[in-house]
């Protein structure tokens, strides 16, 4: 585990040469780096070492004696480091919000998916039969019911049983739509069987990621934390489309706007770090210093707001942070007065008046 962590950190340090908050690779290229380089390294041979079932707790009959809590926490922290580095979200942005904005699955569920794909493909193979025999041989008290029960709780036995359950469910589901000979032919084809397995395992982990996301939103609401635009999107919504065509500075501003984590006086964590006690807008001093206030209501920015209105029509907060994110982020970089972006203010993309450069058809 430490070895993977070290290798990923070396990659992240290398990526710093072409991934930054205001320049470098764009959002989609960064996601390709995540999937092609980092996830490939973390998930290598996951079926052999990822002895964990994140879909069930131990009390619900989940795996025992698998990966320790320290190891799973280390994997989650590694995913957090990667997402923070690639999305350039600010400190204290929740990992689950970054995952949704970057359109990736939580790491434990992703590794479970990769490992289960392999286990289901290999189920019934000669290698797996050897493993069955090995588990039997290792049982020193063969015939003793109590110890055989314990052997069934061995992580490999648990995951093997789970793979068996998945394989049986896939067979039942796919058999419905095909005649018996056609199904037998398709099942014998490793490519077709692999496709069915991948589709099914993705559906399983997506379902559990969705439940975890809904739980996160409910806890946020119950604890009366602000619901930012990212919390209004459903899990799995293709939020990536809002970031298409944006420059790196715009994606940094975009993730800040959508997760509500920008250096503005309404951000109590930023205020605490900077010793700011007053949350009023420094421009008009009439309302709380939020992104929505600056974009839609601040009287001190009335003239500048005219540029935004002429580009998008009626100002609507939801549209500004979804389908109009390209022009909204450009306007915010030009007029929010955030220090991080002062080096790119001369860029022609942040000069107003200008029109929309990206058009996204609205999707609920
Ligand atoms: Zn104001």
Residues near 144 by Cβ (< 8 Å), separated by ≥ 6? none
- Same domain, yes or no: 1 and 123: yes
- Same domain, yes or no: 304 and 179: no
Among residues 87, 89, 81, the alpha carbon closest in space to that of 31 is found at 87
Note every long-range contact of 171-179, with CB atoms under 8 Å and residues 24 or more positions apart, other chains counting.
173/200
Spatial contact of 304 and 331, defined as CB atoms under 8 Å apart: yes
Classify residue 192 by burial, with Cβ atoms within 10 Å: 0-12, 13-18, 19+: middle
Q: What is the pLDDT of residues 334-344, one digit of tens each?
A: 999 999 999 88
Q: What is the pLDDT of residues 258-283, one digit of tens each?
A: 999 999 999 999 999 999 999 999 99
- Same domain, yes or no: 63 and 104: yes
How far is the centre of ligand 1, averaged over its atoms, from the C-alpha of 73 (Å)?
Answer: 42
Per-residue pLDDT averaged across 83-104, rounded?
A: 94
Confidence category of residue 123, pLDDT binned at 50, 70, 90:
confident
What does the pLDDT read at residue 302? 94
Is 77 a member of any domain? Answer: yes
Question: 163, 196, 225 — which closes off a domain?
Answer: 225
Q: What is the pLDDT of residues 28-75, one digit of tens each?
A: 999 999 999 999 999 999 988 998 888 887 777 777 778 889 999 999
How far is the centre of ligand 1, averaged over its atoms, from the C-alpha of 189 (Å)?
Answer: 64
- Same domain, yes or no: 164 and 255: no
Whether residue 229 has pLDDT greater than 80? yes
How far is the centre of ligand 1, averaged over its atoms, from the C-alpha of 338 (Å)?
Answer: 14
How far is the centre of ligand 1, averaged over its atoms, from the C-alpha of 232 (Å)?
Answer: 25
- Same domain, yes or no: 200 and 322: no
Q: Percentage of the chain surpassing pLDDT 70?
A: 92
Is 235 a member of any domain? Answer: no
How far is the centre of ligand 1, averaged over its atoms, from the C-alpha of 307 (Å)?
Answer: 17
Whether residue 328 has pLDDT greater than 90? yes
- Same domain, yes or no: 137 and 267: no
- Same domain, yes or no: 200 and 260: no
Element of type H or E holding 218:
helix 190-222
Distances in whole angstroms, Cα of residue 223 to Cα of each of 198, 216, 220, 230, 231:
37, 11, 5, 17, 14
Is 357 a member of any domain? Answer: no
What does the pLDDT read at residue 139? 47
What does the pLDDT read at residue 135? 63
- Same domain, yes or no: 200 and 275: no
Is 233 a member of any domain? Answer: no
How far is the centre of ligand 1, averaged over its atoms, from the C-alpha of 268 (Å)?
Answer: 17
Classify residue 223 by burial, with Cβ atoms within 10 Å: 0-12, 13-18, 19+: exposed
How many domains does one find in the chain? 2
What does the pLDDT read at residue 143? 52
Domain of 109, in residue numbers? 1-225
Q: What is the largest CA-CA distance in the chain?
A: 84
CA distance 216 to 196: 30
Among residues 83, 33, 28, 23, the alpha carbon closest in space to that of 244 is found at 28
Is 84 a member of any domain? Answer: yes
How far is the centre of ligand 1, averaged over its atoms, from the C-alpha of 229 (Å)?
Answer: 20
CA distance 226 to 216: 13
Mean pLDDT (the chain) is 88
How far is the centre of ligand 1, averaged over its atoms, from the C-alpha of 322 (Å)?
Answer: 22
- Same domain, yes or no: 91 and 201: yes
Question: 225, 251, 282 — which closes off a domain?
Answer: 225
- Same domain, yes or no: 286 and 180: no
Question: 199, 225, 251 — which closes off a domain?
Answer: 225
For the residues of 307-359, what is the DSSP string, one character each?
Answer: HHHHHHSS--HHHHTTTTHHHHHHHHHHHS--GGGGGGTTSGGG-SS---S--
How far is the centre of ligand 1, averaged over its atoms, from the C-alpha of 292 (Å)?
Answer: 10
How far is the centre of ligand 1, averaged over its atoms, from the C-alpha of 296 (Å)?
Answer: 10
Is 138 a member of any domain? Answer: yes
- Same domain, yes or no: 155 and 18: yes
Q: What is the pLDDT of residues 178-192, one digit of tens each?
A: 888 999 999 899 999
Is 99 a member of any domain? Answer: yes
Among 131-145, 193-207, 234-248, the range of highest mean pLDDT: 193-207
Whether residue 140 has pLDDT greater than 60? no
How far is the centre of ligand 1, averaged over its atoms, from the C-alpha of 295 (Å)?
Answer: 9
How far is the centre of ligand 1, averaged over its atoms, from the C-alpha of 226 (Å)?
Answer: 20
Minimum mean pLDDT range among 38-42, 129-133, 318-322: 129-133
How far is the centre of ligand 1, averaged over its atoms, from the C-alpha of 281 (Å)?
Answer: 5
DSSP-derived secondary structure letter, 300 = G
Is 277 a member of any domain? Answer: yes
- Same domain, yes or no: 306 and 208: no
């Amino acid at each position: 585990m430490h070895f993977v962590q070290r290798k990923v950190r070396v990659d992240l340090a290398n990526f710093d040469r072409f991934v930054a908050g205001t320049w470098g690779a764009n959002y989609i290229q960064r996601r390709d780096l995540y999937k092609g380089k980092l996830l490939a390294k973390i998930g290598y041979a996951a079926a052999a070492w990822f002895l964990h079932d994140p879909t069930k707790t131990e009390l619900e009959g989940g795996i025992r004696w698998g990966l320790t809590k320290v190891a799973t926490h280390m994997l989650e922290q590694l995913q957090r480091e990667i997402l923070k580095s690639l999305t350039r979200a600010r400190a204290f942005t929740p990992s689950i919000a970054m995952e949704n904005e970057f359109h990736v699955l939580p790491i434990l569920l992703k590794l479970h998916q990769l490992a289960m794909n392999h286990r289901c493909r290999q189920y019934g193979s000669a290698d797996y039969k050897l493993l069955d025999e090995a588990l039997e041989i290792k049982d020193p008290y063969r015939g003793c019911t109590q110890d055989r029960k314990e052997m069934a709780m061995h992580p490999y036995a648990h995951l093997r049983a789970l793979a068996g359950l998945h394989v049986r469910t896939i067979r039942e589901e796919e058999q419905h739509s095909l005649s018996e000979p056609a199904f037998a032919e398709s099942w014998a084809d490793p490519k077709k069987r692999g496709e069915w397995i991948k589709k099914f395992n993705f559906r399983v982990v997506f379902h559990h990621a969705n439940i975890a996301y809904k739980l996160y939103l409910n806890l946020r609401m119950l604890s009366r934390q602000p619901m930012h635009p990212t919390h209004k999107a459903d899990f799995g919504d293709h939020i990536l489309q809002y970031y298409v065509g944006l420059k790196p500075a715009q994606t940094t501003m975009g993730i800040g706007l959508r997760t509500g984590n920008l250096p503005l006086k309404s951000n109590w964590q930023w205020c605490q770090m900077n010793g700011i006690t007053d949350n009023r807008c420094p421009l008009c001093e009439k309302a709380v210093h939020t992104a929505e206030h600056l974009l839609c209501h601040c009287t001190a920015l009335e003239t500048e707001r005219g540029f935004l209105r002429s580009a998008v029509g009626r100002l609507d907060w939801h549209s500004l942070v979804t389908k109009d994110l390209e022009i909204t982020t450009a306007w915010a970089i030009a007029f929010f007065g955030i220090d991080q972006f002062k080096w790119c203010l001369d860029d022609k993309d942040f000069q107003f008046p200008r029109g929309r450069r990206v058009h996204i058809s609205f999707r609920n």
